[in-house]
Structure 1
Amino acid sequence: MAWSPSVFPPVTVARAESTSARPSGATGYRSDLDGLRGLAIGLVVVFHVWFGRVSGGVDVFLVLSGFFFTGLLLRRAESGEIGWAWQVVRRTARRLVPAMAVVLAGVVVATMLMLPYTQWSDVATQTLASLLFAQNWELALSWADYLAADPSVSPLQHLWSMSVQGQFYVLVLLVVAVCARSARVRPYVGVIVIAAAAASFVYAGRGVATQQGWNYYDTFARGWELLAGAALAVVAPYLSLPRWLRGPAAVFGIAGVVLCGWVIADGANRFPGPAALLPVCAAAAVIMSVSNVAPGEWGAANRLLAHPAMRWLGDIAYPLYLWHWPILIFFLTERDSAGVDLLGGVGVIAVSLAVAWLTHQWIELPLREKRSRPGVFVRRLVLTTVSMLVAAVVTVAAVWQFAVGHASPPRTAELAVNEYPGAEALAGNASTPDAPMRPTVLDAGDDLPPPTLDGCIADWNTRAVITCTYGDPDAERTIAMAGSSHVEHWLPALQVLATQHSFRIQVYLKMGCPLTLAEDATYAGESIPDCRDWSREVVERLAADRPDWVFTIGTRPRDAGGDETPPEYLDVWSALSAHGLNVVTMRDTPWLRRDSGRYRATDCLAAGGDRISCGMRRTDALAPVSPQLEPASRFPSIFPIDLSDAVCTPTVCAVVEGNILVYHDEHHLTATYARSLAGPLGRTLGPVLGWW
């Protein structure tokens, strides 16, 4: 499935129950904000089901959450009530944890029934991260190390937003608790909130331009949206718009919320940067429109939001948010589809509404019952059930992680060649006896090339050029490997050749970054300006270090199928040639794709597929003729090579050859298969290098 992890919105958990800070005598219950929450969750669900893009609901929820929670803290702190902070913690935990525990338990069960066991570890990790309110950092780190990123979207990936809010609640609670020691708690909190919001806004704007994949999940980048709501809560007692401005403010706010997803089509690549001002200001406009105004004086827009249908949707917003995403993901998994048609989408929404209402009725409402005897009994029953679910979820997730983490992987580096010919089964016609596949689907994720294991490849957030030496460090001849992880995964093969023929290998590697001088360098739709700057420095370093040969990648896959040599690669070839460097360009290996969505070989095999059915047709993976041949002919110092016949047959690119698993994910070779490519690579490189 080709769903971006950047389109999952958070949900506010605070309700509008008397939380509008107000001067004495004003009617404060904001039922229109219940409706605003309902409108936002409706947009979130619809955009997820049919459009797969950001709706702006994320930002609306964050503003409302910051407004409600900070307002609650300020009123409790100003009341002088003893133990108010602990009461707020208990109240918030009762709202957050029970419904989440039910959803997590449901997802764990569905995962074991519907997903291949190769994905269980990812779900287990994210389950524990969600319970600890650290899911956003788990996803941010997965983006920073894209070898860990799973192209099949997790049914729990949306819970990053709950982690952001949970972390915010802890921080703002501490701030208000400290400021409450003074009689001027509100002014002190206001100064801190405004200063922190300004810093967060600047930080988020910079993150959009430098590391958006991380920025989207970063609590510090998201903070300004929550703090905008917090600032409104601070000034709420003194906030009242002129009568003539109330209606236009509410209309602007509703229009901004509804139209945001259409006006800002690439919100996943721009939020929470300055572009997020539209939904944030829209939510703020609705909050301010009738602040400290009695409902009888509200305009038509606010009355529309306060309609019972909108308020009902707002009441179930939290469980609806929790449920709709996993229901959608499991529906797509069952259908083996990357999209939802009209009827299927209606079904997903109907089921999500039903289970959200049941969760609201049987989990959320009983925990708010008055302390009558039946209410106390039901509350205790719900709390006991939730506690058992939490214990069960933690136990299952931890046991699975422990079992997988302590399994003894086979020593794939010492496989017998006669049993595991690997690439030689294709390139050298070696016989393939019956033997278990190595590495196994569970071990494949750890079958990585040395630079990844040694920290010798720069990750997404590392701008510095990192170099390491492999092969024979004392050799007089040097090959420099420069580019992305698709250059890196050829290192095990070159290491074998370096041992045989005595040469040094110097690596200049960065994740997701083929050498490029383009101003708009991207990976998976995300801007990576560090790649451009890193590439320029690498070219300068190569010109200074003067290796005998530079080894890099000369093609990339096309979204429409096949592969290509893009113009920016030619710019790099020109720059390297201008420095008098000889360059070997390797045709990239096929990326496993179906319907434009990438998939992992290990997941397909674990789900019951075989080496052929989990592979790709060669015509879908590769162009009939290597696209680098023609442009390379214009550069005397560029030498293109192609080992596709050592990975694919004339008709299919299978995922297992010569008893060795070819891919450890959806597009990287296992180190074991790469070592088996040493023979074909040596026979191809020999005439080019002239070293053997």
Structure 2
Amino acid sequence: MIDKREEHGWRPEIQGLRGVAVALVVVFHLWPAALPGGYVGVDVFFVISGFLITGLLARMATAGGHAWLLTFYSRRVRRLLPAALLALLVTLAGTLLFLSKARWEETAIQVAASALHVQNWWLALQAVDYLGAAEAPSPVQHYWSLSIEEQFYVVWPLLMAAAIWLARRFGYPPKAALIVALALVFTGSLAASVVVTQADPAWAYFVTHTRLWELALGGLLALAGERVSPAARLRLAMMAAGIGAIVASALLFSDATPFPGLHALPPTLGAVLVIAAGGIRLGRFRGLDVAILRAIGDRSYSIYLWHWPLIVFYTAHRPGVGLFAGLALMALTLGVSELSYRFVEQRYRRPLAGAEWRPLAYGSMAIAVCVAASGGLGYALDRQGVDISLIGTGRYPGPAALLANAAVPADVELLPPLGKLKRDMPIVYRLKCHQGQDSTVPVSCILGDPGGTRTVVVTGDSHAAQWIPAIDRIAREHGWKLVTFTKAACPFTRAPVTDNGKPYPACAQWRDNVLAEISKLRPELMFTSQSNYDNVPQDVMVEGLRSVWGELGEEGVRTIAIRNTPFIRFDPGDCLAANPDKCATPRKDGERINILALAAASLDHVRVVDMNDALCGKETCAAVVGNIIVWRDYHHMTATYALALAPYLAKAAGL
């Protein structure tokens, strides 16, 4: 039995499904351990959006008229932009109030990316970036899914218009042409999703082409006919199976599940079953047509926009979300969302007086304002400098506070400023010669004294790269030419390493290519260091290091291996903003075995240097030493502190 309200185009069970989807997402974000796969709520949203928008577009396109595209885009702008841009601007202001300055720059970048509807691509780049993946989540990270939908709304109407034009030109039914076009999108995107998820799940999670099939699936349902059978009991079974698939996915999936790929089929097909089942009325049972679910579904867009910034602002000052705090955040989200729904969403849904182009013009101006606000904040932060001439002075003794008991004055602004902390990186990152995981052809920077007659090299992963500021200063002071060869997550060893648990052949190829380059350079000295690779057996890593060092030793290259720096258990930016006196990790918890020392045993041409006493006290590793911030993140030094270590590294290395 079909509810009479559906005869007028209103689908209450879809609003109820929206309510279920947003509830899954919110609970997952509040208590991920309780609902580890709650992120599938986003996939349910994709199917719903594809279904509703494709049906709307098909009706508009086949009804005739030349302005249907303009009308559609005008409606989308009125429906989506006001609430989304308001949430972005308020979140940007909240960032200044509630988040550490260390997170301002990245948030400003992501606000601009969200306003321009490319947030998913920015996050994809961050997810596969060795350093970016360690960043704390931004308060606008959730805009990635909205960006995919907006990209769909831009491209799909144009594709539909082209398909209809071709169908009419060659005498085919427009609806059949639309089904064929969307089926091609579905097939190609699903295939890409499976392949890319297997190869690179971090990238696949965010990029558009691995997600379009989910929207296309809903669109195919709209075009092919959403009713499968009028039999009420069969429709009830369909609805139950659909809800079961969605809930089971939310309970059984986790962050270890390769997603999207084939694992996205259960929740999306579950959403298809629920929509296809339609409204159900068996006695008092109405399926998802429940008042509370409909109310949440009506406000699901605002709830989605506002819940995540509130969670991020709260967790920036606390380690997690407890039961009562989570319930309070839920209540606050519902309150803010109600205001957003009533006074923004509903108000701007009404057509503006005048031509349909007006909302597009106003929307473009609003986007420009949002981008300008975030860009202004980014520009202001970028203008902040780090005065390296202060390093080693009485105000900024740095390592001398640990090694020489130098006095440390109070009430001194830290170096680097918190607003520059995340970007206080070795110059090789800015010069693009610290290589990503995919590259195999060595890319080097020439530092130190480029005209020097003696050559030294630095090799290894990002934990070797973090020493470049110190090595660069040493090279300049000695008149040496410094050549850098560093690559993300790739230690300079013949031991096989993996990348996110998968084979990493690019690392081995790059290493062999770098060895060939070093043979051409004929350096006198090589600096190296590396992170901990606990998934590589100790004896395998030792032999891999000895193999490389031994080969270079035969060519007359001496090696200085710098022990890996400790890991800390806090985000330095957030901790220093919230409670700087507690920003420390027990040294015994942060240090690992000195694998380089084990490998260097009996190799006379290798010298192992341990600088950890210059980073940590006897008991703890603190965020700040001698008024200089030591850590950029939980396992990399700031470039400023590395520079402060230059004279101590030179002395320890006997240079």
User: TM-score if structure 2 supplies the norm length?
Assistant: 0.83
Q: 1:354 aligns with which of 318, 332, 335?
A: 335
Q: How many residues align?
A: 626
Between stretches 149-158 and 342-351, larger displacement belongs to: 149-158
- Rounded Cα–Cα distance in structure 1 between residues aligned with 2:457 and 2:297: 59
SS at structure 1 position matched to 2:459? strand
Partners in 1 of 2:422 and 2:9 — Cα distance? 55
Unmatched segments (≥5 aa) in structure 2: 354-358, 554-558
Corresponding residue number in structure 2 for 1:628: 595
Letter in structure 1 aligned against 2:347: P
Q: Which residue matches 2:469?
A: 492
CA contact (8 A) 2:440 2:510 kept: no
Q: Distance in 2 between matches of 1:515 and 1:102?
A: 49
The alpha-carbon distance between structure 1 residues 102 and 495, as it changes in their structure 2 partners (threshold 3 A), is: closer
> Aligned pair 1:536/2:508, yes or no?
yes
Q: Secondary structure in 1 aligned to 2:418?
A: coil
Instruction: Give the counterpart letter for 1:646 in structure 2.
Output: A
Aligned counterparts of 1:125 and 1:283: Cα–Cα separation in 2? 34
- Report which stretch shifted further, 30-39 or 443-452: 443-452
Task: Say if 1:315 and 1:300 are closer, same or farther in 2 by CA, change over 3 A.
Answer: farther
Q: CA deviation at 1:643?
A: 0.7
> Given the alignment of the two structures, is residue 643 of structure 1 paired with residue 611 of structure 2, yes or no?
yes
Match of 1:337 among 318, 330, 353: 318
Write out aligned runs for 1:438-477 (5 A).
438-460=415-437, 462=439, 464-471=441-448
* Alpha-carbon separation, structure 2, partners of 1:368 and 1:542: 60
Q: Which amino acid aligns with 1:217?
A: F
1:235 is the counterpart of 2:217: no
**Alpha-carbon spacing, 1:311–1:462, altered in 2? closer, same or farther (3 Å):** farther
User: For the Cα contact (< 8 Å) 1:143–1:213, is it kept in 2?
Assistant: yes
Q: Kindly tell me: are residues 265 and 139 of structure 1, through their superposed partners in 2, closer, same or farther at Cα, counting changes over 3 Å?
A: closer
| 8 Å contact kept, 2:600–2:608 | no
1:307 and 1:339 map into 2 onto residues whose CA distance is 32
Q: What is the alpha-carbon distance in structure 1 between the residues aligned to residue 648 and residue 506 of structure 2?
A: 31
For residues 214 and 19 of structure 1, what CA distance do their matches in structure 2 show? 42
1:275 pairs with 241, 263, 268, which one?
263
- The structural deviation recorded for 1:166 is 0.5
Residue 198 of structure 1, CA deviation: 2.3
Structure-1 separation of matches of 2:44 and 2:496: 33
Query: Is the 8 Å Cα contact of residues 516 and 569 (structure 1) preserved in structure 2?
Result: no
2:80 maps to which of 89, 96, 103:
96
**Residues 202 and 551 from structure 1, CA distance in 2 versus in 1: closer, same or farther, beyond 3 angstroms?**
farther
Decide whether the 8 Å contact of 2:163 with 2:181 is kept in 1: no
Query: Which amino acid in structure 2 is aligned with residue 574 of structure 1?
Result: E
Structure 1 residue aligned with 2:637, among 669, 674, 681? 669
Match of 1:8 in 2: none
Deviation at 1:467, TM superposition (A): 3.7
Alpha-carbon separation, structure 1, partners of 2:211 and 2:389: 45
Once residues 228 and 422 of structure 1 are traced to their aligned partners in structure 2, the CA distance between those partners, rounded to angstroms, is: 59
Structure 2 match to 1:87: 71
Compared CA separation, residues 139 and 463, structure 1 to 2 (3 A): farther
Closer, same or farther: CA 428–585 of 1 in aligned 2, 3 Å = same
Query: What amino acid is the match of 1:262?
Result: L
> In structure 2, the residue corresponding to 1:304 is in which secondary structure?
coil
User: Conserved in 2, the CA contact under 8 Å of 1:36 and 1:314?
Assistant: yes
Aligned partner of 2:83: which letter?
A
How far is the alpha carbon of 1:326 from its aligned partner? 1.6
Whole-angstrom CA distance in 2 between matches of 1:433 and 1:357: 50
Counterpart residue identity of residue 562, structure 2: M
2:566 counterpart SS class? coil
> Does residue 177 of the first structure (1) align with residue 146 of the second (2)?
no
1:616 to 585, 593, 603: 585
Report the counterpart of residue 3 of structure 1 in structure 2: none
Q: 1:482 and 1:394, CA in 2 relative to 1: closer, same or farther beyond 3 A? A: closer
What is the letter of the counterpart of residue 110 of structure 2? Q
Q: How does 1:34-183 map to 2 (within 5 A)?
A: 34-51=15-32, 53-55=36-38, 56-148=40-132, 151-181=135-165, 182-183=167-168
One of 208, 218, 221 as aligned partner of 2:210: 221
**Matching residue of 1:312:** 295
Decide whether aligned partners of structure 1 residues 659 and 308 sit closer, same or farther in structure 2, where only a CA change above 3 A counts: closer
Task: State the shift of 1:578 in Å.
Answer: 3.5
The alpha-carbon deviation at position 410 of structure 1 amounts to: 4.3
> 2 CA distance for matches of 1:226 and 1:241?
23
Task: State whether residues 586 and 641 of structure 1, in contact with CA within 8 Å, keep that contact through their aligned partners in structure 2.
Answer: yes
Classify 1:674/1:572 alpha carbon distance in 2 versus 1 (closer, same or farther; 3 Å): same
CA pair 266-395 structure 1, distance change in 2 beyond 3 A: closer
Partner in structure 1 of residue 649 of structure 2:
681
Would the aligned equivalents of 2:542 and 2:598 in 1 still touch at CA under 8 Å? Answer: no
Whichever residue aligns with residue 486 of structure 2, its letter is L
Counterparts of residues 521-532 of structure 1 (less than 5 Å) = 521-522=498-499, 526-527=500-501, 529=503, 532=504
Partner Cα separation in structure 2 for residue 414 and residue 63 of structure 1: 57
Secondary structure of the corresponding residue to residue 484 of structure 2: strand
Aligned to 1:4: none
| CA deviation after TM superposition for structure 1 residue 458, in Å | 1.4
Q: 1:266 to 1:431 in 2, by over 3 A?
A: closer
Contact 2:105/2:419 (8 A) holds in 1: no
Q: Distance in 1 between matches of 2:365 and 2:546?
A: 66
* Contact preservation (8 Å) 1:565, 1:628: no
> What is the CA–CA distance in structure 2 between the aligned matches of 1:103 and 1:511, rounded to whole Å?
35
SS at match of 1:284: helix
SS state at 1:305 partner: coil
Once residues 262 and 282 of structure 2 are traced to their aligned partners in structure 1, the CA distance between those partners, rounded to angstroms, is: 30
Q: Superposed, which structure 2 residues align to 1:275-424 within 5 Å?
A: 275-290=263-278, 295=279, 303-333=286-316, 336-368=317-349, 396-405=373-382, 407=383, 409-412=385-388, 420-424=396-400
Q: Output one character per residue of 1:107-148: Cα deviation in whole Å (capped at 9) or x when no partner.
A: 233223222333333333322322222222232333344545
Amino acid at match of 2:569: R
1:32 match: 13
1:334-359 CA-to-partner distances (Å, cap 9, x unmatched) read: xx223222222122112222322332
Q: Which moved more, 1:134-143 or 1:484-493?
A: 134-143
Task: Describe the shift of the 1:301–1:671 C-alpha distance in structure 2 as closer, same or farther (beyond 3 A).
Answer: farther
Q: Match of 1:286, SS?
A: helix
Q: 1:674 to 1:253 in 2, by over 3 A?
A: same
* Residues in 1 aligned to 2:360 and 2:153: alpha-carbon distance in whole angstroms: 22
Partner letter of residue 418 of structure 2? V
Please list the CA deviations of residues 266-299 of structure 1 after superposition, one character each: whole Å capped at 9, or x if unmatched. Answer: 36x5222221112122112223335xxxx57x67
> How far, CA to CA, are the matches of 1:533 and 1:302 in structure 2?
58
Q: Cα distance, 1:392 vs. partner?
A: 6.9
- Cross-structure match for 1:379: none
Q: Which moved more, 1:164-173 or 1:106-115?
A: 106-115
CA distance in 1, matches of 2:454, 2:237: 73
Shift of the 120–673 alpha-carbon distance from structure 1 to 2, 3 Å rule, reads closer
Say whether the 8 Å CA contact 2:391–2:397 is kept in structure 1.
no
| Cross-structure match for 2:181 | 192
Q: What's the CA shift for 1:43?
A: 1.4
1:591 to 539, 564, 567: 567
Q: Distance in 1 between matches of 2:237 and 2:141?
A: 37
1:508 aligned onto 2:516: no
* CA–CA distance in structure 1, aligned partners of residues 494 and 22 of structure 2: 42
Equivalent residue for 1:660?
Answer: 628
- Describe the SS at the equivalent of 1:254: helix
Task: Give CA-to-partner distance per residue, 1:384-413, whole Å, 9 cap, x none.
Answer: 9999987875564343233233x2524426
- Cα deviation 1:469-499 (Å, max 9, x = unaligned): 4446687876553332111011222223334
Q: How far apart are residue 589 of structure 1 and its match?
A: 2.0
TM-score by length of 1: 0.79
